[in-house]
Structure 1
């Protein structure tokens, strides 16, 4: 099970995610309670080993701006939310970067198709709400079968194992589900989430 812990902003939270076994760590470089600057990301990367993928998260920024900001932060992965196009995917790859393209449950069917992104992320219909949703509904999305994709939205240490199985997800992504308060990560919850996801995958 591939596990991404997102919205990290402190050395302690990055180290906890890495030491717990996360495969990727996300840094929010767009307006958010979890926002960090490119300089902060550059410093936090000191605690990220080569086996873990650091990812810059963007929402409505033009793709060219996202690429420039990610480069300034020292990142090779970009996660794009918002209304995107196949041309945006090509632009990221032409820049020599890898892409996670995020869509929300309830988006038009064509957005679930393979546009050439490295990973697709499926979020709740209302991203950031922290509420769980009908994860089992993802198992019937034909466009996802046989592909690498991440389940997100409303996940926490208590439900990640069952949710990922119900959805037939290849990986999971969490942010608010491992927080003590909005934008503040709880180290124990990070550890519990990663262990729950990984343990269920090998059970």
Structure 2
């Protein structure tokens, strides 16, 4: 299977173009007012339309109510809904059934005990995202630039496709892929010059480094 590369927290046409031209497979748009990467529905609809089928679009929400999900789905018709809060398996299943959009469920990892939670999403979420747990009293559930011990997921097999996130940068993504064997990588703050300020050069470098690791491991080329 090819390595899936996701650039999350895109807010500008320039960052989107850099991600698409570099060959990213997924583009993430954040709908969480506390995040510096938050987009209004109008802005997200405009930016996401420029993807034009070159990648899959992902709408990131945190503990959303149905009304918010409905508004986002209507505004941009995402290919995926990323649930990055404390959504239970039952809630994830309900959202998936109600809106008919594949679910990427994120959960925080600090130690091996946290990985056990992945089993409860088997058959419920279409893909899992392993992210570092946010710091205590942190405002953001993700995008904090923190990494967890990648050796914890070296033999991770949750029974569903998964992706690695948290603390990834152009400098370490190759090591992360080789160490964990992850089928996908997700980056946000690791390709920024400041909170919410995407670096076009870092986006290109990240995708290139991920693809180099893919080639070195002999993974198939292609997109999700």
**TM superposition score normalised by structure 1:** 0.91
- Any residues of structure 2 matched to 1:116-127 within 5 Å, and which? 116-126=124-134, 127=142
- Distance change >3 Å, CA 142–CA 72, structure 1 → 2: closer
Match of 1:85 in 2: 88
Greater CA drift, 72-81 or 95-104: 72-81
Please state if 1:131 is matched with 2:146.
Answer: yes
What is the aligned counterpart of 1:162 among 171, 175, 179? Answer: 175
Please state if 1:101 is matched with 2:102.
Answer: no
**Could you report, residue by residue, the CA deviation over 1:65-90 in whole angstroms, capped at 9, with x for unpaired residues?**
34213213222321001111222222
Q: How many residues align?
A: 200
Report how far residue 61 of structure 1 moved: 2.1
**TM superposition score normalised by structure 2:** 0.83
CA distance in 2, matches of 1:132, 1:82: 18
Please state if 1:141 is matched with 2:144.
Answer: no
> What is the root-mean-square deviation of aligned Cα atoms in Å?
1.7
CA distance in 2, matches of 1:181, 1:91: 36
Match of 1:10 in 2: 12
CA distance in 1, matches of 2:150, 2:114: 17
Q: Which runs of 5+ in 2 are unaligned?
A: 135-141, 217-224
Q: Which runs of 5+ in 1 are unaligned?
A: none
Secondary structure of the 2:144 match is coil
1:5–1:173 contact (8 Å) kept in structure 2: yes
Greater CA drift, 25-34 or 92-101: 92-101
- Which is bigger in relative contact order (C-alpha 8 A, separation at least 6)? 2
CA distance in 2, matches of 1:83, 1:131: 19
2:168–2:190 contact (8 Å) kept in structure 1: yes
- Any residues of structure 2 matched to 1:61-72 within 5 Å, and which? 61-62=64-65, 64-72=66-74
